[in-house]
Structure 1
Amino acid sequence: MQIGSHYKKLTLLSILVIAITLIAFTGKNSLYTDPYKLEYPDYFGNRISIPENNPTTKQGVYLGRMLFYETKLSSSKTISCASCHQQKLAFTDGKTFSSGINDMPTKRNSMSLANLLWVRNFFWDGRAKGLEAQALIPLNDPHEMGAYMEKAIIDLQKTKVYPVLFRDAFGTPEITADRITKAISQFERTLISANSNYDKYLRGEYNPTEQESNGMELFMNSAEPSKNIRGASCAQCHGTPKMYMELFHNNGLDSIPKDKGREELTGMPNDRGRFRVVTLRNIALTAPYMHDGRFKNLEEVMDHYNEHIKPSKSLSVVLQNRPNEMGGKSLGLTAKEKANIISFMKMLTDSTFINNPAFSNPHLSQK
């Protein structure tokens, strides 16, 4: 009996040693496999984009949040992702063009980072396929963050905190460019904006004012003057609950665009002046507007679409021949109608999103 009991103890001890050895060998632990629950409304749909080799985990998201606000990723040690994407401005920066290292301006206006979980083509011209590819570009840009990636990896490896965070997120303390972009992408996928008054309206929790309701109707309708239906055709590009479509349009800013837009990527003349349709969520917070930040406020945006569309060979079809009056040459909305549409667009502001502590700078809480 004593021999059997001793044998059982040895067997249990052996199993425990093997288990510990396997965990140490694989570099995995309970933290590494802790999934992050992405929560969003059903009306957003499930056509989300998450690579198989970069599942979203709580540890990966936290590491990505740390890196998103980390100035050590720039050569000047003053620029982070958050410099151009500030939470209080729905992750834009309020500038016509963002300031990179040494105050070098970027080529285009900073885009909002809301609801990226559903986006597949990033930047105004769609040149990055997926968030991981997107995250790498500013990190390696000499004018944005100083192309400092290789040295940044060395800097981060010397810290006390980052090797531990990389171990928790990826299984080993090794810091690589691939892991940095994966972690930042995981964090950015959590930036979901879905609690505006418009969302509350869709959930039956908010009654729009008369002005908001009229603006919503104009926003969603296309003009049919023969049937006395007035509309602004906004929903042609922004008609989904997420307020954008995965499309590229020339929206009539210039007859001869100074910035060729998507044509630079595709080489196709029909893509001249075409840019990605951006989300209108939190649009009241993300001025100035357009790829070059030319419009200071929503009133200027409405004036453009109403009265100042410039014709060109690549002008989007949805912006052609859409008057509210029979024989009209422009959209022809009244001042009151434009104001109503702006009232509706202000319904898209999500105060929960811009104040969510899970999206804030974690370095501040450590000081």
Structure 2
Amino acid sequence: MKKILFIFLGTLALFGCSNNEDEYVKIPTSITLTNPSNFPKIAYDLSKNPLTEEGIALGKELFYEGKLSSSNIVSCGFCHVQASAFTHHGHTVSHGVDSSVGFRNAQPIQNLAYFNEFNWDGSAIHLDLHPIIPITSDFEMGETIPSVLAKLSADVKYTQLFEEAFGDQEINSERMLKALSQFMITMISASSKYDKVVRNEENTAFTESETAGLKTFENKCASCHSGALFTDKSYRNNGIPFNSKFPQEEGRKRVSGFADDFYKFKVPSLRNVEISFPYMHDGRFRTLEAVLDFYTDGMTENGGIVDASLRKIDGSLGIDLSAEEKTNLIAFLKTLTDNTFLNDKRFAEF
């Protein structure tokens, strides 16, 4: 199996002399991220934030740091748990500081290096900017960036880590966000059974049910969930009934302001979908069976423009799937589970 490898390009070197000629600062160790052969090109501009061993280490520390929230408890890792593909497992919608409840389901954190827009509505257009939204959200981390920086600056551990990552002890928002990005960029999920089959690795092959499920997927699902990332990155209205519990929800319209974008949401990647439940933007479905039942029998006119690809010839909504097709489709979707990624100690808190 061809694994994701971090190739160390640099070696520890010395630069800059302090007033004491016996004291030196180490240059951060540069690394390169090898792109899986079946994946598209990395979208993130690494030339503006080169990966280093120390930058990634700092980013990991920040990802699991409660000081990024007003409670000093809720970290990024609080809502993004590795065992469930970095989703908020067990919660329909995310819970934050002071037991506050949001109105959207936490999305998985995986393969973010291949995207330019983030969140269900695309409200973040750069990975470096993405953490600002949960950090400052009243119902997520409820903090301000200046307050976070003050707390980090008062912690000797972080003055040392920032110095190791960036060459001096200055702690600012740009460095904090770039370190978080460096860590998240390395979180690539590309070692599922599906990947091994398409790359002809380890004599791996699909079962009869998985093969049948792949055929159904290609015929009835791949127009939206396309490519190696299993998403075309578009925003679509899939006919999900409007949720009156969250009247403020407008989907993509909340960002674009266009009426036609009402209740459009980003087509999610299906990688690790077996364990990233609950599903949909509001987490209303707990099983893959329930999701497929929705697409055959539950779609409705919801006040927006339902995607044309989900309309039948007679104009009605839905995808025709037999019980056997559903069973085989779920069997195929389970081949997208990447246990190597889910258990990778590089991403674990401890």
TM-score for the superposition, normalised by structure 1: 0.84
Larger Rg: 1
Q: Does 1:288 align with 2:278?
A: yes
- How big is the shift at 1:23? 11
Equivalent residue, structure 1, for 2:337? 349
Deviation at 1:155, TM superposition (A): 2.0
Residue 97 of structure 1 aligns to a residue in which SS? coil
> Measured at CA, do residues 330 and 91 of structure 1 come closer, stay the same or move farther in structure 2, by a change above 3 Å?
closer
Looking at structure 1, the residues matched to 221 and 88 of structure 2 have their Cα atoms a distance apart, in angstroms, of 25
Distance (Å, rounded) in 2 between the aligned partners of 1:351 and 1:23 = 50
8 Å Cα contact 1:243/1:281 also seen in 2: yes
Consecutive unaligned residues of structure 1, counting only runs of 5 or more, are 1-17, 222-232
Task: Please give the alpha-carbon distance, in whole angstroms, between the structure 2 residues aligned to 1:276 and 1:20.
Answer: 47
What does residue 9 of structure 1 align with? none
> What amino acid sits opposite 1:130 in the alignment?
H
Q: Which moved more, 1:170-179 or 1:125-134?
A: 170-179
- The 5-angstrom pairing of residues 3-82 of structure 1 reads 20-21=16-17, 30-32=26-28, 34-50=29-45, 52-82=47-77
Q: 2:217 aligns with which of 207, 216, 219?
A: 219
**1:317 partner letter:** A
Paired letter, 2:311? Q
Q: Distance in 2 between matches of 1:52 and 1:23?
A: 32
CA deviations on 1:149-169 (whole Å, 9 max, x unpaired) are: 322222222222211110111
Question: Does structure 1 residue 270 correspond to structure 2 residue 260?
Answer: yes
Tell me the amino acid that sits aligned with residue 335 of structure 1.
A
Q: Which residue of 1 aligns with 2:118?
A: 122
CA distance, structure 2, for counterparts of residue 236 and residue 334 of structure 1: 19
- Calculate the aligned-residue CA RMSD, in Å: 2.4
- Establish whether residue 246 from structure 1 lines up as the match of residue 229 from structure 2: no
Moved more, 133-142 or 65-74: 133-142
Q: Which residue identity does 1:347 align to in structure 2?
A: T
Aligned counterparts, 1:188-267, within 5 A: 188-205=184-201, 206-221=204-219, 233-254=220-241, 258=247, 259-267=249-257
Query: Whose helix fraction is larger, Structure 1's or Structure 2's?
Result: 1
List per-residue Cα deviations over 1:233-281 (Å, max 9, x = no partner).
2101112111112110001102798521011111111101101111100
1:85 CA displacement: 0.3
Q: CA deviation at 1:51?
A: 5.4
Paired with 2:19 and 2:237, the residues of 1 have a C-alpha distance of 54
Kindly indicate whether the alpha-carbon contact (under 8 Å) linking 1:28 and 1:171 is maintained by their aligned counterparts in 2.
no
Residue 73 of structure 1 and its aligned partner are, at CA, apart by 1.4
Q: Residue 281 of structure 2 aligns to which amino acid in structure 1?
A: H
One-letter identity of the residue aligned with 1:245: D
Per-residue CA shift, 1:77-113, capped at 9, x if unaligned? 1100000000011000121111110110122100000
- Distance in 1 (alpha carbons) for counterparts of 2:317 and 2:250: 26
Question: How far did 1:298 drift?
Answer: 0.4
Give the secondary-structure state (helix, strand or coil) at the position aligned to 2:179.
helix
Q: Tell me how far apart the structure 2 counterparts of residues 23 and 204 of structure 1 sit (CA, whole Å).
A: 57
Deviates more, 1:124-133 or 1:251-260: 251-260
Q: CA offsets, 1:302-333, max 9 Å, x none?
A: 0111222213551112111269xxx9874321
When residues 352 and 181 of structure 1 are mapped into structure 2, their CA distance, relative to the original with a 3 A threshold, is same
Tell me the distance in 1 between the aligned counterparts of 2:307 and 2:199.
33
Identity %: 37
The aligned residue for residue 109 of structure 2 is 113
For the residues of structure 2 that align with 1:100 and 1:181, how far apart are their CA atoms?
A: 20
Task: Give the whole-Å Cα distance in 2 for the aligned partners of 1:43 and 1:192.
Answer: 13
Residues 96 and 28 of structure 1: CA distance in aligned 2, closer, same or farther (over 3 Å) = farther
Give the whole-Å Cα distance in 2 for the aligned partners of 1:342 and 1:136: 36
Judge conservation of contact 1:166–1:172 (CA < 8 Å) in 2.
Answer: yes
- Residues 113-192 of structure 1 mapped to structure 2, 5 A cutoff: 113-192=109-188
Name the SS for the 1:37 alignment partner: strand
Contact 1:70 1:81 in 2 (8 A): yes
Question: Among residues 313, 316, 320, which one is paired with 2:307 in the alignment?
Answer: 316
1:142 CA drift (Å): 2.5
Q: How does 1:74-93 map to 2 (within 5 A)?
A: 74-93=69-88
Q: CA deviation at 1:141?
A: 1.8
Displacement of 1:140 = 1.6
Instruction: Choose 167-176 or 288-297, whichever is displaced more.
Output: 167-176
- Structure 2 unaligned residues grouped into runs of 5+: 1-13
